[in-house]
Amino acid sequence: MSLLRTDTGTLDTGLSTPCIPSSTSLVDTISLFDTSSYLFIQDDGPILGYIAVSDVLYAMMHAHRLMEAYFETTLETAGSALTLINEEAKVAYWTSGAEHVFSISKNDIIGQPAADFFPPDRLQSLKTLYTGETVYRKQHQPRPDLFALINARPVQLDGRIVGAVAAEVDITTEIRLHQELLHMTSKVQHLEKAVARLRPDTDPFARIKGSSPVIRQCLDTIRKISTTSATVLILGESGTGKELFAKAIHDLRELQTAPFIAINCGAIPASLFESELFGYEKGAFSGADPKGKKGKIELAEGGTLFLDEIGEMPLELQVKLLRVLQEKSYFPVGGTRIKQADCRIIAATNQNLLSMIACNEFREDLYYRLNVINLVIPPLRMRKEDIYELTQTFLQEFSLLYNRHIELVPPEVFKLLFQYDWPGNIRELRNVIERLTILTTDGEVKPEYLPDTLISLSAQEQSEMQLTSGIHPHVNSEHEQRQHLAETEQEARTTANVNHSDNSKLVSNDTYQQKLDTYETELLLQYLEAAGGNKRTLAKQLGISRATLYNRMKRLGL
């Protein structure tokens, strides 16, 4: 031992003095000094010497001061604002970096409650002290005029939290520069948009946002389709942007001067549909324009006629449209002179036309004439990786429209956007982003600005999983759910192909979905009967909201 003394002659040997071997650690000797102020050191032979309690205390004090010097030098060398608060929430240590960042002298703050200098709700170190939370590179705002990145960790002794350490790096300058950059970017985007209005975009796919595999598959299919003038049937849920894809097919093949005429078959009364589509001659009927009127087919001459929601077209008009497709000719209302239909026809629907054919609501011969080539547009829930790009696009659009400056979209907002299934597809996402832009007046998008359907998503998602596991018991484990989703996505990719003559795949897919819907319908009806027809009771038993149950039953036609 380095503390060993050999001048035993000066000791009072009449007292009872413990003996310890020379291999005893310094820590183990502390308790032995309770009965004597020194200890003899003896191995197998004679006494080697002794150690005094005063020497031990001096050695411990020196070790403590040495450790404190190492500790202080290390903290000062770290270059960030380091703070240590003790169990009483008082500042125990305050580096010069903290003095520089917060403009508070260590002489003023050490030993004082941290809450006397900062708002308690902004102090991450206090939260760490009380909850044991550990954070790494979290954006932190200890004061309204200061932004920092903070690392915080609790100090534990014998399993108990006795303090908290926080290391902060001042990023106020970077944040302000970033805000300036965003402001300038908004101005540049505004100018780019103004220029774009004056100069038409030459990229046919410019308005189709996304780079997911299913979207790339669709674009590849469009490139193949556009090498011909064949009739195209676009299939997809409401809100997926079917008209954008139709316009891309048109733009990829036709000249910029070629017309693209769109007509919504569900928005025109049956009595006016024929005159809208084929036009009419002067004096064709009472109240008609004396000069007559051109129909959409004639207006689309040399270009493309897009028939949206083709499933809503009246049956009597379907026969006449079939003639246009077969013979490329038609008669205007009240006319006796045949006209040629010199336009490409693209139709779109969100309905199951094969089911409508089975119910005599859509003509089978027209279906096969329209379905020369089909393009299936995937719903947003099958291409969630595109949500980020779509969100940024809509934020740019609406921030310019409403003169809002969007600085930050927190990860928790994107998490909710990615978790939601978007039954309204891209149209619904666009509306949500418009809402967020309007409500964001302080530059930061907040989760509470989202609609209630997204804010309460966690509970709703859990309920949906419970309902799904009840209706589809073969997809119940997390692994099986991921596998099922992967299979569904693969199915969506497969259907987004050119299909000239073989419609067996589409029939097979529809038949599978019909069987699945039939099984789900029967099961829900059984549950509803067991609940005495009370939907509120059924929703409660299934652990879902009534809105979720109503949406599911509406989709199944119940």
Residues 252-272: tens digit of each pLDDT = 988 888 999 999 988 888 878
Neighbouring CB atoms inside 10 A of 450's CB total 20
Per-residue pLDDT at 430 exceeds 90: yes
101 and 36 co-located in one domain: no
- What pLDDT digit, counting tens, does each position of 57-81 carry? 888 888 888 887 777 777 666 657 8
340 phi and psi angles, rounded to 5 deg: -90, 140
Q: What is the domain-level CATH number for residue 12?
A: 3.10.580.10
Chain-wide mean pLDDT for the chain? 79
161 and 256 co-located in one domain: no
CA angle 145, 146, 147 (to 5 degrees): 135
3-class state of residue 376 by DSSP: strand
What value does the mean pLDDT take over residues 170-183? 76
278 and 363 co-located in one domain: yes
* 72 contacts 51 by C-beta, under 8 angstroms: no
217 and 341 co-located in one domain: yes
* 90 contacts 83 by C-beta, under 8 angstroms: no
Q: What is the domain-level CATH number for residue 293?
A: 3.40.50.300
Per DSSP, which regions of 24-108 are E strands? 38-42, 47-52, 81-86, 91-94
In a domain, 519, yes or no: no
Answer with the one of 324, 350, 378 that is the final residue of a domain: 378
**Which strand (E) or helix (H) includes residue 527?**
helix 504-530
For residue 261, the 8-state DSSP code is E
Q: What is the domain-level CATH number for residue 158?
A: 3.30.450.20
Question: Which of 15-24, 228-237, 494-503 has the weakest average pLDDT?
Answer: 494-503
14 and 121 co-located in one domain: no
The structure tokens 């939907």 sit at: 535
In a domain, 226, yes or no: yes
CA distances from 331 to 320, 337, 406, 497 (A): 9, 7, 55, 35
- Cα-trace Rg, the chain: 38
In a domain, 29, yes or no: yes
The structure tokens 């299979």 sit at: 487
Instruction: State the total domains in the chain.
Output: 3
In a domain, 27, yes or no: yes
242 and 371 co-located in one domain: yes
User: Distance (Å, rounded) from C-alpha 391 to C-alpha 413?
Assistant: 11
- For residue 54, the model assigns a pLDDT of 81
Per-residue pLDDT at 14 exceeds 70: no
What value does the mean pLDDT take over residues 114-141? 83
Per-residue pLDDT at 499 exceeds 50: no
Answer with the one of 170, 202, 227 that is the final residue of a domain: 170
State the amino acid at position 223 in one-letter form: R
Answer with the one of 378, 407, 435 that is the final residue of a domain: 378
161 and 234 co-located in one domain: no
- For residue 196, the model assigns a pLDDT of 62
User: Distance (Å, rounded) from C-alpha 170 to C-alpha 149?
Assistant: 7
- For residue 428, the model assigns a pLDDT of 94
229 and 286 co-located in one domain: yes
In a domain, 202, yes or no: no
Per-residue pLDDT at 479 exceeds 60: no
* 200 contacts 256 by C-beta, under 8 angstroms: yes
222 and 319 co-located in one domain: yes
State the alpha helices, DSSP H only, in 78-105: 96-102
In a domain, 532, yes or no: no
- For residue 77, the model assigns a pLDDT of 67
Secondary structure percentages of the chain, helix, strand, coil, to 5: 50, 15, 30
User: Distance (Å, rounded) from C-alpha 293 to C-alpha 278?
Assistant: 9
* 333 contacts 275 by C-beta, under 8 angstroms: yes
In a domain, 516, yes or no: no
- For 153-170, the DSSP string reads EEEEETTEEEEEEEEEEE
The structure tokens 């930050």 sit at: 408
In a domain, 515, yes or no: no
State the alpha helices, DSSP H only, in 303-344: 315-327
* 379 contacts 169 by C-beta, under 8 angstroms: no
pLDDT band at 24 (very low <50, low <70, confident <90, very high): confident
Spatial strand order of the sheet with 344-349 comes to 260-264, 304-308, 344-349, 232-235, 373-376
- For residue 466, the model assigns a pLDDT of 47
Provide the residue range defining the domain that includes 35.
8-60
225 and 95 co-located in one domain: no
- What pLDDT digit, counting tens, does each position of 75-105 carry? 666 657 888 899 899 998 888 888 878 888 8
Using left for φ > 0, alpha for ψ between -120 and 50, and beta otherwise, residue 231 falls in: beta
Between 442 and 551, the more confident residue is 442
256 and 370 co-located in one domain: yes
CA distances from 165 to 112, 179, 320 (A): 16, 30, 79
357 and 223 co-located in one domain: yes
Closest CA to 278 of 266, 259, 263, 258: 263
* 536 contacts 543 by C-beta, under 8 angstroms: no
pLDDT band at 306 (very low <50, low <70, confident <90, very high): very high
Per-residue pLDDT at 477 exceeds 50: no
